[in-house]
Structure formats: structure tokens, C-alpha cells
Amino acid sequence: MPAAQPTPPQNSLKKTASHFWQRVSDGLELHQLWLQFEKDARSSYRLYSAGLEERQAGQSRKQRFWYMTKALFWAIIEKLSPARRVLLLLGLILLFFSAGVSYSDKAGEIHVFSFDLRLAGGLLIFVVLLLELADRVVMKRDLEIAKDIQAWLLPGAPLQIPGYGIAYATRPANTVAGDYYDVILRPGATPSDARVLFVVADVAGKSIPAAMLMATFQASLRTLASSRVGLAQVVADLNRYACSNSQGGARFTTAFLAELDPATGELTYVNAGHNVPILRRKSGAVERPEVGGIPIGVLVDAAYQVGTIQLESGDWLVIFTDGVVEAMNATGEEYDEPRLVRVVDRGSGSAPAELLRSLLAELDAFVGNTPQHDDMTCLLLKRA
């Protein structure tokens, strides 16, 4: 049996380099890496430059440049802890520092000693980077746990209601979201009296603070929905509880709640300051269910009116948060509601899950690689 031929050194080196690059790039192509970098750069610039434009009126170009440079410097520095700020500043100083010392000995010969501290400056900056990276890893781990917990709070597979189709999806702007949607089966005196509660809500703000309030909202609504009171009473009680945790109305929640009688198709609803849903009739006519009141958590004694809709065969109810219609592309143009209505018109003959996929695909094509600035949630209900 012939001996195995040794692997040429250049092939081994090429294989090692290829494995290293695959591990670093996570298998992404160069154009995908560039799009990801561009998206991250836009998000970072938006974070650091927030509020700068308003203070540039009446300034010359030189003054604006100096102001922007100084403001961005402080915006970056102030996001570090004081100790890391000192390390970063010291590293930046040393990065441009090199000098030399000369002296002559007794024989008159001149000796020159030069020292270059740029390497030390680079190492200090690298230390700051490592410390920030460690914080990011810990925070990312905690956020991933919070994301899993939040996923447990949201419904899984859509509830199966004979004669109706349901689909829903959410896309957080960050790891966790302030948007909430749910489909809750409410008990009745008899099985035929059971009702189905649909809700889409949007807590003011984003990320962790909004996610925590979303969890509180979900727990409160689930508890209240288990009782046999009417929808108006559920919303009133929900508002009273939310007002006790809203920091004087600063942490409010917009919500659309609708209760369906599956047997008759009657839908009672309350729109608490939320984006007005789209009710598309089979004929193509569009109605907007806007009866309700102010957002939840603003005024403890707020009054909420209840509206009524009769769903017929072929009718659609599209409930969404502002992150859908206010999604922006690279030119700053918003997706807006007319585009959403056109998507529903085109897909009116399809199933809710299929229409939802079409909507999300169109949103992706419209937005491109522009960073998502708000949570997106959409719930579709169709009577067959």
C-alpha cells in the first residue's frame, strides 16, 4: 500500500487562512459584511450625533466643523466610565508621542536616546476596547436571556378559530421590544359564549425599559381577561393599574383591543390612542376603527368608548404599530399607510400567513440596510 503523500505547506497554510477567515466573518460574503458595517455605522452615528443639528443655526462652516468635532468627542468620551476616559485620553496622547534625549560624554562623543511611546498608547486604547467588549458580552448575554423570557410572554402558534385565519409577527428594533401582541381566549358562561381577545400594544420607548413595562402590561391584561367583565371594564381596570406605574403618564402605552364573537363575527373594540387599524371589506372598501380614548397610563379616570364592527366573509382586520408605517429608507422616506393598504389589497385573496410574509418582504425591500429605529408588530385577522 503506497504511503500517503504529505500535504504541501502552501495548501495547509491556505486551508488555515480560509478556516480563520470563515471563523472571523461567520461565513458572510464581503458585500454582506459591508452592508452590516454600513448599518452599524449609521446606527452609531445616530446615537452619537443625536441633538447636534439643532445647535448649528447661524454658524459658519468652520464653526460648525469645530462644534461637531468637539460635540462628537464629548458624546463618545462621556459614554465611558471616568477611569476608562482617562485611559483613552492617555492612550491618544501617547499614540502621537515620541521624543529623544541627547548628551555628550567626557570624550565629547554625543549619544542620542530616543523613545517611542506610540506602542504603549495603542496598548492602552486596546485595554479600553477589551474592557468595553467585556461589558458588551455580559450585557448581550443578559439581553439574550431577557429576549427568551419575552418570547415566552408572546403567543406561539396562532389560535385555531373555525372560520377565521390569524397571523402575527414582531421585529424588535433592539434585542428586546416594547411592542406587545396577544390572542386570548376569554371564558364565558357556556362554551358558546367564549370570546377571543386580540390586542396589539406599543409601550412608549424602546429596549429594556419598554420591555419591562410590556411584561407588566401583559401580566395585568392576562389577569383581567380571565374575568367575565366586559371589554370596557377590562380597559378601564388596565388603565388604572398602568397609571400607578407610569411615572405620571411619562410611560404610557397605546393599545388596540378587540373582542370577537366567533359565532356571529361581531367585534367590539377599544382604540386607546393606537395607530388606527385597517378594516378592509371584501368589496375593497376601507374603514378605520378609531373609537376609544387616550393612551393607557395617562389619566387614571380616563373614559373609553367601545366601538362595534361586524366582520363578514372575506373581511380583513390589520392591526399594526407605528414602527411598520414609519419605517424609513435611506432617503428618509416613510413606508406610510397607503403602501400598507395596497399590500392588503393585492393579497386579499390569500391566507393571513402568506399576506404577512409578503408585507415583511416588501418592508425589507423598502428599508434596505437602513437601521430599524422602532419596533415593528403586525397582527392580521381574516374571516373566511
Residue 270 has a pLDDT of 98
Give the position of cell 371564558: 187
The answer to whether 324 and 377 are in contact (CB under 8 A) is yes
The answer to whether 335 and 324 are in contact (CB under 8 A) is yes
Whether residue 119 is contained in a domain is answered as no
14-39 confidence digits (pLDDT tens): 788 888 888 888 877 887 777 777 77
Task: Report the share of the chain in percent with pLDDT over 90.
Answer: 46
Burial class (CB in 10 A: 0-12, 13-18, 19+), 195: buried
Q: How confident is the model at residue 281 (pLDDT cuts 50, 70, 90)?
A: very high
CATH number of the domain to which 371 belongs: 3.60.40.10
Give the position of cell 388606527: 276
Mean pLDDT (whole number) for 1-7 = 55
Asked if the model's pLDDT at residue 235 lies above 80, the reply is yes
**How large is the angle between the packed helices 231-243 and 207-225, nearest 10 degrees?**
140
Least Cα distance to 231 among 241, 221, 240 occurs for: 221
Residue 114 has a pLDDT of 63
Which range among 28-32, 153-157, 164-168, 294-298 shows the weakest confidence by mean pLDDT? 28-32
Structural domain total, the chain: 1
Q: How confident is the model at residue 109 (pLDDT cuts 50, 70, 90)?
A: low
Please indicate whether residue 300 or residue 145 has the higher confidence score (pLDDT): 300
Whether residue 211 is contained in a domain is answered as yes
Whether residue 168 is contained in a domain is answered as yes
Whether residue 107 is contained in a domain is answered as no
Whether residue 191 is contained in a domain is answered as yes
pTM: 0.74
Asked if the model's pLDDT at residue 4 lies above 70, the reply is no
325 lies in which domain range? 155-383
Whether residue 206 is contained in a domain is answered as yes
Asked if the model's pLDDT at residue 249 lies above 70, the reply is no
Which range among 96-100, 147-151, 256-260, 288-292 shows the weakest confidence by mean pLDDT? 96-100
Phi-psi map region of 28: left, alpha, beta (phi>0 left; psi -120 to 50 alpha): beta
Please indicate whether residue 358 or residue 211 has the higher confidence score (pLDDT): 358
Whether residue 92 is contained in a domain is answered as no
Residue 272 has a pLDDT of 97
Whether residue 132 is contained in a domain is answered as no
Asked if the model's pLDDT at residue 383 lies above 90, the reply is yes
CB atoms within 10 A of CB 377: 24
121-144 confidence digits (pLDDT tens): 889 989 999 998 888 888 888 878
303-338 confidence digits (pLDDT tens): 999 999 999 999 999 999 999 999 999 888 999 999
Please indicate whether residue 223 or residue 15 has the higher confidence score (pLDDT): 223
Write out the DSSP string of 241-268: HHHTTSTTTTS-EEEEEEEEETTTTEEE
Which range among 112-116, 142-146, 333-337, 367-371 shows the weakest confidence by mean pLDDT? 112-116
Q: How confident is the model at residue 146 (pLDDT cuts 50, 70, 90)?
A: confident
Which range among 77-86, 88-97, 100-109 shows the weakest confidence by mean pLDDT? 100-109
33-71 confidence digits (pLDDT tens): 777 777 777 767 666 666 555 555 566 777 777 877 787
Residue 23 has a pLDDT of 82
Asked if the model's pLDDT at residue 190 lies above 80, the reply is no
